[in-house]
Structures are given as structure tokens and as C-alpha cells.
Chain A
Amino acid sequence: MDPHQTLAVYEVMYGMREFESLVGEGVASGAIHGEMHLGIGQEIVAAVLGRYLQPGDAVVSTHRPHLHGLAAGVDPVPMLAEIFERDGLNHGKGGHMHLFDQAKSFMCTGIVGASAPLAAGYALRQRLDQRGNLSVAVAGDGAVNQGGVAETMNLAVLRGLPVLFLVEDNGYGISVSTQKSTAGSLRHRAEAVGMPVREANGTSLEEVDDAIRDSIGYVRAEVMPATAVVRVYRFRGHYEGDADLYRDAAEKNLAMSAVRDPLLILRGRILADETVTASELSQLEDSARARVTAWRDEALAVGLPAPASAFAGVFADE
């Protein structure tokens, strides 16, 4: 990846972190009353994914979905309006964990592991259409132990479904570490059904980029599924308000330090490579922050859903 591409990925990741930080502030201020799962620390997965998605591709994300939505091209203003419980992307009925953008074939689900069968459904359509599109089933490390994910991996290989199983291994399913939840390894799950697997360390942009690019290339070319596992670290608790006493402080501090935080690592490299000057980089960051803040302000200006609308829309065409 050339220095300017690296800078572009950094800019996307920086904006994603700002996005999640502003959402976190919304929880702290009480503007958002529900459960909230932020992807701070995991930006590199969505930022790289966004480099390789094409129109017509589908993304089915998880309970930690915002960054995948941005990668899929969901308009951030209606998305933020929905997250802030206003008359947003889904008119206040989905909220942060159930964002749906039909035009972008993006959705997410709050049920761990449920993304895989749904992505297979989008992929069934794509297989019939033969336009080289694919569906991304995002799954956490915990989701890989759901039977539905194993079932879908098997079905996808048998039927030749263009699905990328994109596993974000952030080390913990709420409080239970991957080591304590997963016998064997995540990659063995996919290998058991004869599916190619790529693994990447989330602190290495090259590894993540290679893994996702190659996997997506295979899925499109072969009309067959593939799995990519990226090891990242969740900087926040499982949800906003999680006391997070189950993780060791030293482990957390190291993960969030300049030597492990993917964002800070990239920042250091950009400056070392002299791709831009420090002040130019600060300007880029300032404008990324200003952009996200403007989205947030625009989203907060969106009205609340009409109370009576709660009773409408159970069925289509009625």
C-alpha cells in the first residue's frame, strides 16, 4: 500500500473513531437511552473492508455495527439520527443495533451469530444474478461458536454462495475471552468445511489489507465463500456503562498504547514516512472531526418520530 493510500485509510479510521466517540458522548449525556456497543479500537476492519466493497454487495453486521455501516456507504446523518433515537434511517424503530439501509444492502442484527444465515440469503440472490457481487457476514469471536454460523459455513460451501465470513476477534465475548470460549481455533471452524481462511493481526495494516483483499477476490472470482479473521482489541467495555472489571488493566493499557493502537501506529508511520507534515496531519484530523461533528449536529436536528407511528408498519402494504 503506498503512503497516500495509507493516509486515506488513516483518515477513514480517524473519522470512525470520532464517530463512535460522539455516539458515546450521546450515551453519557442521556440523549441515547438504550444499550450501546462501540467499535473504538476495531476501526481497521471496517476501514479496509470499505476499500473493497462494490455497489450491489451486501453487508450484514452485528450488535457493534456502526463502522460496517459507514464502510457500506450508509449515509451517516440518517444513521446518526437513528442512533440518537430520532426519526432517522429506520424512523426510530431499529435504533443503533438494528440499522437497515435497503439501498446499500446493509443491515445488522442484535442476535449473536444471526448475521451469517441472513448474509447467505443475500448471497443466494447474488449467485443467481451472476454480477460478481458478494455478501459480508460480520461475526465476532463469540459468534463463531453459534451453531447457525457453522451451519451457514457448510451450506455456503455446498451451494457455492459468495459470502465473506469476516470475523472480528476482539478477544472477548462480553467478559469471556476467546481462549475460554473457543476450543481449537477460529480458523479451524472454516477449514473444517473446506473453506479458505486468512488471518491478520489488526495492528498491521498490510496484513489486514492482504487478508480482506485476497478473500474478497476469491469470493468474487470463485463464487464460493471464504473466511477472514482479524485480531483486534475492544477499547471500550462490551457496552457503554460496562464496568469492564474482567479485563486486566495492564492488558488494556498496552492494547490502547501507541505501540498497539492501530490508529496511533498508522499515525506514527505516516509522520515517520513524511507523507505529510505534522501540522498537515493535524489539519486533516481537525477537518475529519469537524465533518463528523457536523453530521451529528445535523442528525440531532432531525425530529422525533410521531408517537402514533409506533403502531404502524408491522406489515407491508397495510
Chain B
Amino acid sequence: MSEQQPAAADARTGSHLVAEVLAHQMALDDSMVVFGEDVANLGGVFGATRRLARQFGDERVFDTPISETAFIGMAVGAAQAGLRPVVELMFVDFIGVCFDQVLNQMAKNHYMSGGGVRLPLVLRTAVGCIGSAAQHSQVLSATFAHIPGLKVVFPGTPGDLQGLLRTALDDANPVVFLEHKQLLKSRVSSLPHDDAPAPRTLAEPVPFGQLRRLAPGDDLTIVTVGWMVQLALQAAGQLAAEGISAGVIDLRTLVPLDRTGLVDAAGRSSRLLVVDEDYRGFGFTAEVMAVIAETLGRDAPLMARLAPEVPVPASLILEEQVVPGAAAIVAAARKLMDKEV
């Protein structure tokens, strides 16, 4: 191969990166088990558990019947019994069928036991829009984050898919790990922000509750999480071409929430736009704005928010109206810039 030719294209998607971390950890930790719908034979509908069953065998990696209450609850019991289950809920939308085991058992049993019971488990689930309408496109991050006792992690970049998952697999608590379908499916090299580690290496663990600033900006700060991080960075690029300097902050984890970092960033901004793919009402955008407002009071920046207020429709032309894209973020940023501070 001559030096002029590019290196072999990086074919890795986000799902490859997840599978690498799971395999790495399973080799280190005999107590780790992986189960859920289609995770073994198929390797996950998005491929995030590919090759695990072959490598670690049927006792530790197995397919379950379509019985979310039974197998999510089994993960809770197994964690209490000293295993480290990594259980996959294929689409987050299916949480409705097994919510008791999450709401009343997974989230509560450590607290209700007075600390005697531990639940070191990771609930991995695919979230976000890929064009499949309102029962297969939700994020529901705030639904989990609302419940005391669950950590809620929402990576927005390939590097964080690995770094945050490694931390989740080392946590003593139940962690809801939200994997955006676009991130799972996309070639990492095609993303606006590709921080994937070099092939055959793993990203370093990323601590929970520490936001990061992915782009500096003087005129406006965009605060977001998950896949919207990629779109906000795209939007920031477009805004820069118009002479608007927009910073992007990735919160990385909803629980724990980096209140200090958030207030610090807000204190240094005159305008702040909060963007979320989960529903607007009583959710992430309101929480972020409330934390800033109750801490900074009259010193808070001028704030606006962008998030869906209706279910995600099927037809692409309708979907684009509802789910924020880079263009919608640019429009919201312009509107905020037009307001007088």
C-alpha cells in the first residue's frame, strides 16, 4: 500500500465500541453476566453485544424470552445476590411493560434496606429517533432521572460510549445507560465529534457528574446531552459561519448532575440554550434552567430551550418538525440572540 493511499477506513460503529468494553470487562469480572432479548445468538439488534456469547458461553450471556418484567427483575435480584448483571432493554420504549421492577425494586432496594443491599447493575437501553414513530423513538431520560436511586448516563460521543460505560461497570449502584441509536449505528469516523480511541484500545473511564465543554463560545452557550451533543456541535459550526460564537456543553450524566459545573458555565454566559431530545414538560430542560435560576437568581443568563412537546410521528417530514435537528438548534440560537439581555 503506497503512502498516498488512506489507511483502511475505520468501519467501527458505536455498537462495536460498546461490545469491546463489555468483552473487556467480562474477561476481568467473573461475576458479570449479560442477558436480554436477542443479545446472545444475534449479538443485539444494534450489535452492541456481538460475539460475547461465543466468547463467554451460554451461562454468562444468554437470550431471554420477551418478558421484560421477569428478566429486568431477575437482574435486580442477581445484583442483590452478588452478580454484576448487564441487562439490555432492547428499546427504552419497552420500559412500560416492566416499570415496577425499575421504579420500585431497582431504584429503591438499596435505600429501603438501609444500605444492606447493593445493586451493581447496568441497564443498557437504546434510545432516540431513527424514524420509527412514537413507540420506538423515545429517550425517556427524565423518566428515569426523576426516580431517586438510579444513575442516568447518556453518552453523546463514541469515546464517552466507552468511557462512561467503563465507569458504569465499576459502580456499586444501578446505572441506566442510554445508548442513542444514531450513535450505535453510525460509523464513528462520520460523526461531527469523533473521540473514539484508536482501534484495539479502550477509552479511559470517564467520571460521572462532570460535564465537559466541547466547544468554546462567547455569545451563547448550548447545554445538552446525548446525541444532541453531536447536533449542537454541527449547529455551532453553522452559527460560527454567521458570526455567532456558540459554546457547547455536554452534561454526560443526568444523575449525578454536575450542578457546580453547570452554574459555573451559566455564570460566564449571557445567553444559554438548553437542548434535549426527551420530552420538554417537567424534564431535563426545566431541571437545568431551575438549577441555574435558583442558584444565580438575577445573575442568571437569558435562557431558552428546545425539546419535543408531542410524540414522535412516523413520516419524516413530520418527524423533522418534532425532533430537534441542527437547523432547529441554529434557529433557536438565532432567536435567543435577538432577545435583549
Chain A contacts to B: CB under 8 angstroms? 58, 60, 89-94, 98, 100-102, 105, 107, 109-111, 114, 116-128, 135, 147-148, 151-152, 154-155, 158-159, 313-317
> Is the CB–CB distance between B76 and A118 below 8 Å?
yes
Residues of B with C-beta under 8 A to A151: 65, 67, 69-70
In the complex with contacts A114-B101, A124-B33, A314-B148 CB distance below 8 A: yes
| Set B101, B105, B112, B118: member contacting A316, Cβ < 8 A | B118
Shortest beta-carbon distance, B200 to chain A, in Å?
30
Enumerate 21 A-B pairs (CB-CB under 8 Å) in ascending A order. Answer: A91-B115, A93-B112, A94-B112, A94-B114, A107-B80, A114-B105, A120-B73, A121-B77, A121-B85, A122-B78, A123-B77, A124-B77, A125-B81, A128-B33, A128-B59, A151-B69, A154-B70, A155-B65, A314-B111, A316-B118, A316-B172
A22 vs B135: C-alpha distance in the bound complex, in angstroms?
51
In the complex with contacts A111-B100, A315-B173, A121-B151 CB distance below 8 A: no
A315 vs B109: C-alpha distance in the bound complex, in angstroms?
10
Beta-carbon contacts under 8 Å, B70-104 to A: 70-83, 85, 98, 100-101, 104
> Is the CB–CB distance between B151 and A117 below 8 Å?
no
Sample of 12 more A-B contacts, CB < 8 Å, known A111-B100, A152-B69? A90-B116, A94-B113, A114-B100, A116-B70, A117-B72, A117-B101, A121-B74, A121-B79, A122-B77, A122-B78, A147-B69, A152-B74
> Is the CB–CB distance between A155 and B64 below 8 Å?
yes
A269 vs B112: C-alpha distance in the bound complex, in angstroms?
42
Decide if B149 is an interface residue (CB 8 Å cutoff). Answer: yes
Which residue of B has the minimal Cβ distance to A310? Answer: B111
> Is the CB–CB distance between B114 and A91 below 8 Å?
yes
A100 vs B111: C-alpha distance in the bound complex, in angstroms?
11
In the complex with contacts A93-B112, A122-B80, A159-B62, A117-B149 CB distance below 8 A: no
Decide if B318 is an interface residue (CB 8 Å cutoff). Answer: no
Beta-carbon contacts under 8 Å, B167-212 to A: 172-173
Which residue of A has the minimal Cβ distance to B104? Answer: A111
Which residue of B has the minimal Cβ distance to A102? Answer: B116
Residues of B with C-beta under 8 A to A158: 65
Decide if B259 is an interface residue (CB 8 Å cutoff). Answer: no
In the complex with contacts A124-B81, A128-B83, A100-B65 CB distance below 8 A: no
How many residues belonging to B are interface residues under a CB distance threshold of 8 Å? 45
In the complex with contacts A124-B33, A155-B67, A90-B112 CB distance below 8 A: yes
Decide if B110 is an interface residue (CB 8 Å cutoff). Answer: yes
Residues of A with C-beta under 8 A to B74: 117-118, 120-121, 124, 152, 155
> Is the CB–CB distance between A121 and B114 below 8 Å?
no
Which residue of A has the minimal Cβ distance to B75? Answer: A121
A123 vs B80: C-alpha distance in the bound complex, in angstroms?
11
> Is the CB–CB distance between A152 and B70 below 8 Å?
yes
Shortest beta-carbon distance, B292 to chain A, in Å?
23
> Is the CB–CB distance between B173 and A114 below 8 Å?
no
Residues of B with C-beta under 8 A to A315: 110, 149, 151, 172-173
> Is the CB–CB distance between B83 and A125 below 8 Å?
yes
Residues of B with C-beta under 8 A to A94: 112-114
A14 vs B105: C-alpha distance in the bound complex, in angstroms?
33
Shortest beta-carbon distance, A61 to chain B, in Å?
13
In the complex with contacts A117-B76, A316-B172, A100-B81 CB distance below 8 A: no
